[in-house]
Amino acid sequence: MKLLHLLAASGLILAFPSPDRTSFVGGREHGGESITVDLPPSEHLRNRGGRDGAGMCVMTSIEMAARWQGLDAMRGLRDWCAQQAGGAWPAKVDRQLLAYCRERNLPLPPYLQYEGSEPEKILALCERTGRLACVTYGYSPRYGRPIAHMINCVKFGDHWAVGLDNNFPGDGNYEWMTPAEFLRRIKHPGGSAWLFIWLAPPPPPVPHN
Amino acid sequence: MSPLLTMALILCADCLDGQCKPSPSSPKIEWRSRPDDPDRAYLFVDGVQAGGYDRARDEWRPFVADAWGAPTALFPSSLAKADESILNFGVVREPLPSDRSRHTLNGKVVTEQEAASAIAGNALTDDSLRLRLTIIGADADRQRVLDDLRSSPELDGWSHQMLVQAYPPDHWAIAGNGFVTTGTPTIYVQAADGKVLHRQDAYRGPKQLAEALRRADPNYRPDKDPDLNLVFPIHLDWRRIPTWLWIVAGLLLISLLRRRNRT
């Protein structure tokens, strides 16, 4: 007990910056850089609860990624899943996607899930190829304490990483931070990230001659 | 004596009555942190690093003789409280240990390499430089082209070499972005940077589309087309060999024959 008091007295608590300035909320552009995945706000989804009130952040992120990558047959996936209990983990996602596609007589679109401590390679590939990754998110100053959440990664560049949080959808609500900080948050608190990525291609670039 | 106890005794020296009073003899205690790593703090005693603390994991590690010691939880009860106070928005999982990873493709466990490249055409490999084929039109018009891309022999292989998308004319990805949307359907072939390499406003069948794709493909070389009717893999058009080459070849042949006669 004395040790606890001593650590507090020695300034341990004060050693952590407050308020948290490790990220900021902004628009689609900052410092001459733009987000890579520019899903229109009309296509953003706000998180909701499942049948038991538990959150649906996983399927909310997954449906937004589907919308970005032209998988329009997956529109309504989140609300379909919300008829069941909320909360999700990788195996449950597999089960629910399969059930949704079977019920609608759709082919199951290819997708990748990754769990581990080195998600940066996959995120860099998503950045290069324009795909919208769904990532776990364990901390944000918006909440002031640890969270169990999934959001979309709309940019993972050399200087900036940007998250689109389905609890704060809409233009101007993007959360900008360094890639190192982003990686820290998506692995927080257990040191292991969970990623979901549709393999379908992103929309075509704007045409020009 | 453990480094942790050492640190405690150092800190206790001037705190015996429950209040920490600085005295001339007390060591200089300093916690330092880095802006890019705000959840960790490092303890320095008289300018010498004595350890580090990870707030997220509640891990104290002593730093002695340039080496990190074993981690110790300083606030186990508060960590349990913190777990209870995690705000959950819908993720329920036991994270894998930090030295393990798992990739799955449509629910099946695969290796990292397989995840990156096993499923031709659908792999999450770097396909950012591929041609983009975009079909814009009514459901039936789009479906006709997609069906041919899947099953027509003329278009065999093309769908794996391009990034294919199909949209109704009013889709957000198309509308307002400069695409023509009035075709039956409109078919675009674009380079990765968006440059339009080919556009047609009606579907004229798989053969014509395949021809257009061949012309649009910057890597297409007609001279490398295989002709499977030929016995020899190298196709020579004798009529295109210049006369001077025939003469040189003839002289070489005569010279070789003369040498053979002499020997």
B216: domain range? 131-220
A176 pLDDT more than 60: yes
B234 pLDDT more than 60: no
Give residue-wise pLDDT tens across range B94-120.
Answer: 766 667 888 898 898 888 777 766 333
Q: Are residues B137 and B215 in the same domain?
A: yes
First to last CA, chain B: 98
Token pair listed for A169? 């959808």
Q: pLDDT band at residue A158, thresholds of 50, 70 and 90?
A: very high
Q: How many domains does chain B have?
A: 2
Lowest-confidence range among A82-91, A192-201, B88-97?
A: B88-97
In a domain, B7, yes or no: yes
- Rounded average pLDDT over A108-131: 93
The domains found in chain A, sorted by start residue, are 26-33+54-198 (3.90.70)
Residue B157: CATH number of its domain: 3.40.30.10
Lowest-confidence range among A67-71, A181-185, B230-234?
A: B230-234
Lowest-confidence range among A21-35, B48-62, B153-167, B220-234?
A: B220-234
Of B94 and A92, the structure prediction assigns the larger pLDDT to A92
* pLDDT value at residue B120: 36
In a domain, B242, yes or no: no
Q: Are residues B136 and B210 in the same domain?
A: yes
Q: Do B106 and A54 touch (CB under 8 A)?
A: no
Q: How far is CA B239 from CA A127, B236, B242, B246, B253, in A?
A: 53, 9, 8, 11, 20
For residues A169 and A41, is the Cβ–Cβ distance under 8 A? yes
Of the candidates B18, B122, B104, B225, the one whose C-alpha atom is nearest the C-alpha of residue A5 is B18
**B163 chain-A contacts, CB cut-off 8 A:** 201-202, 204
Token pair listed for A11? 């300034």
For residues B6 and B27, is the Cβ–Cβ distance under 8 A? no
In a domain, B39, yes or no: yes
B9 pLDDT more than 80: no
> Is the link from the previous residue into B185 a cis peptide, with omega within 30 of 0?
yes
Q: Do A70 and B173 touch (CB under 8 A)?
A: yes
Q: Do A150 and B55 touch (CB under 8 A)?
A: no
Of the candidates B154, B148, B152, the one whose C-alpha atom is nearest the C-alpha of residue B166 is B148
Put simply, the chain A residues between 169 and 208 with a CB less than 8 A from any chain B CB are 178, 180-181, 184, 188-192, 194, 197, 199, 201-208
- For every residue of A104-137, which 3-state class applies, written as one string? CCCCCCCEEEEEECCCHHHHHHHHHHCCCEEEEE
pTM value? 0.70
In a domain, B115, yes or no: no
- Cβ of residue B140 closer than 8 Å to a chain A Cβ: no
In a domain, B250, yes or no: no
Interface size A-B, in CB pairs within 8 Å, comes to 243
* pLDDT value at residue A142: 93
